[in-house]
Structure 1
Amino acid sequence: MKLITTDMDGTLLNEKSEVSTENAKAIRKAQELGIEVVIATGRSYKAAAKPLMEAGLSCPIICLNGAQVYLKNGELIRNIALDKEACRKIELACTSESSYFEIFTSAGGYSINRDAFIHILVDVMKAHYPNVETNVIKEKVKQRFQDEKIQTVDDFDHIFNNDEIDVFKFLTFSLEEDVLQRIREQLKDEHDLTITSSGHQNLEFNHRDANKGAALAFYSSRQGIELEDVMAIGDNFNDFSMLEIAGFSVAMENAALGIKKICNFTTKKNSEHGVAFAIEKILKDGIKKTVR
């Protein structure tokens, strides 16, 4: 094994949105053995780098679902933006269903009115972490807006009409699965668009070439590492593309059923240091003994 890549939310991060001591220790152990460890997340670069820095970790980061790839030193080496016409179509689809959405750009993150939808995000997070108190979750939601630097705007026209601003990702939330399905249906024929999700209550929109799998293949090739020598760890459908191409794929115990079905191995939950368990097992037993 020459490279390990891991998702963040629901995977590397625990219920407190932190990298546990156990996970950090396992990552450092792999790095000391000469194995590259790469983060692959839907988060923006700064929001991904913060919990890593707090845990004393330094890793290359595939962010915004593969739209950008950063080296360990912070150098940007891959940048794939959405077409502005596609952006307008996504905006129209979301607003037609009164669904809250955010956009992530080269100038930061934007939303129309985040305050009106904080309760939705709280409910979404409670679905993931039912044992965490509501007031704690609300503080996490507010912190998320700060970490992602989400700015409030009256409309997105000045962004879509500005050739100097690239849009990398849309993220929309709804507690009603029918709403998300109707949005997906409106955009299903947009061939330059990839639609994924990182949870039951959201959809994520990127350029078709901006997915974790493509970004992982790009980075691995750049480093001269064959995909058969890559282990990928994830929990949801925005991880599908990288789990599908990795030589060895690991699902979290808390992963979506469809993700578990395509993976070689299921590790422990993200709240039980599942990334550390997977890394330690692969380092100790190798691939053949680990597969079940």
Structure 2
Amino acid sequence: MAYNLIALDVDGTLLTDEHKLPKDVKEAVREASTAGAQIVLCTGRGPMGAFPVLEELGLSGVLITHNGAATVRSEDRAILFQYDIDKKDLTDFIAYCKAQGIHYDLNTAFDMMVERMTDEAKAMYAHHKVEPIERSFDGSLPDGLVKFTLFGTKEQMDAVQADWANRPTNLQLIRSGDLFIDVQNPDASKGTALRRLAAEIGIGREKILAIGNYYNDISMLEFAGLGIAMSNSPDAVKDAADLTAGSNNEGGVAAALRTHAWTRE
């Protein structure tokens, strides 16, 4: 293998726009695993939304979830490390979402919680194969929060992003998809988590290949020895990568792995 660790984004990268895992992509990822590469899913999803993808691949191991805020092991569901949110820093975000009528959820490493559910949100969670816990946040917020996610139309998320561009906050806003904005600890990122994991298992960055498609993937694409952006990526993501692969709907990950993951004699 040319690379000992392969970091793969999920939505818009491994999965098609219909949230399907193409057969050819599945086979290519398993070929890389069989050849000796450690496969690490690096996703904005929480573990409960990422485990089904890992299981469909027929693999187990470490996952970098919540945009790097929680790194977990699938076999025993242990949290290897996480970056918590200070609960008091979420007060303004919750008030803003309520005033604007924007759907949001709160996440610990393994639990997702919502105050209410719309039909659009139900369909979105079903696609991601997660079932949020419905509860009130009027009292104290739960401990161990790692991510606060806003969900809505692209126009709504564009407006939120513009509105919060100059507002003071101790947290970072990450655009993790056209329909999502994640609010997290400023130290959390896929790149930070990948760097920390690589150091703990003794793999140099030159032996890491990363593939992604969105703004939340830029840090891991820049850290990896080889960063590959999907052709369905925004230009800023392509600019941050070393190479560009085919689109997620064309099974671009399969071709990228078969072209670049193996050492050529």
User: Could you state the TM-score of these two structures normalised by the residue count of structure 1?
Assistant: 0.81
In the alignment, which of 90, 94, 116 is matched to residue 93 of structure 2? 90
User: Out of 120, 124, 131, which is 1:141 matched to?
Assistant: 124
Residue 156 of structure 1 aligns to a residue whose secondary structure is: coil
Go from structure 1 to structure 2 and tell me whether the alpha carbon gap of 1:107 and 1:269 turns closer, same or farther (over 3 Å shift): closer
CA contact (8 A) 1:197 1:238 kept: yes
TM-aligned CA deviation for residue 181 of structure 1? 2.5
Match of 1:131 in 2: none
Amino acid at match of 2:131: K
Deviation at 1:248, TM superposition (A): 0.9
How far the C-alpha of 1:63 sits from its partner, in A, is 0.6
Q: Where does residue 190 of structure 1 map in the other structure?
A: 169
Taking the aligned partners of 2:233 and 2:158, their CA distance within structure 1 comes to 22
Name whichever structure is richer in helix by fraction.
Answer: 1
Shift, 1:62, TM fit: 0.4
Q: 1:150: which partner in 2?
A: 132
Aligned residue number for residue 134 of structure 1: none
Select which of 175, 186, 189 maps to 1:211.
Answer: 189
RMSD of the alignment, in Å? 2.2
Determine if the alignment matches structure 1 residue 173 to structure 2 residue 151: yes
Partners of 2:8 and 2:110 lie apart in 1 by: 26
User: Which residue in 2 is equivalent to 1:290?
Assistant: none
Given that 1:82 and 1:166 are in contact with CA atoms closer than 8 Å, whether structure 2 keeps it comes out as yes
- Distance across 2 between alignment mates of 1:27 and 1:257: 26
Secondary structure of the 1:62 match is strand
The question of 1:280 aligning with 2:258 is answered: yes
CA deviations on 1:139-177 (whole Å, 9 max, x unpaired) are x535247x3221223x313351x4xx3111111123225
Please name the residue that 1:79 is paired with: 82
Deviations 1:36-56 (A, max 9, x none): 111000111111011221332
**Contact preservation (8 Å) 1:93, 1:183:** no
Partners of 1:39 and 1:59 within 8 A in 2? no
**Contact kept in structure 2, 1:104 and 1:168, CA below 8 Å:** yes
- Give the Cα–Cα distance (whole angstroms) in 1 for the partners of residues 181 and 166 of structure 2: 13
CA distance in 2, matches of 1:71, 1:16: 27
Q: Which runs of 4+ in 1 moved over 4 A?
A: none
Equivalent residue number for residue 256 of structure 1: 234
TM-score, with length taken from structure 2: 0.89
One-letter amino acid of the structure 1 residue matched with residue 161 of structure 2: Q
Q: Does 1:271 align with 2:240?
A: no
Distance 1:101 1:156, change over 3 A: same
- Matching residue's letter, 1:283: A
Kindly provide the amino acid, as one letter, of the partner of residue 216 in structure 1.
Answer: L
For 2:110 and 2:21, the matched residues in 1 are separated by 27
Shift, 1:71, TM fit = 2.7
- 1:251-284 CA deviation, whole Å, 9 max, x = no partner? 1111111101111111111111111111101035
**C-alpha distance after superposition, 1:33-84 (max 9, x if no partner):** 2211110001111110112213322242001111111235233211221001
1:64 aligns with 2:66: yes
CA distance in 2 between partners of 1:88 and 1:181 (Å) = 17
Cα offset for 1:107? 6.4
Match of 2:15 in 1: 13
Give the number of aligned pairs.
Answer: 259
Q: Secondary structure at the match of 2:113?
A: strand
**Residue number in structure 2 paired with 1:3:** 5
Aligned counterparts of 1:281 and 1:94: Cα–Cα separation in 2: 45
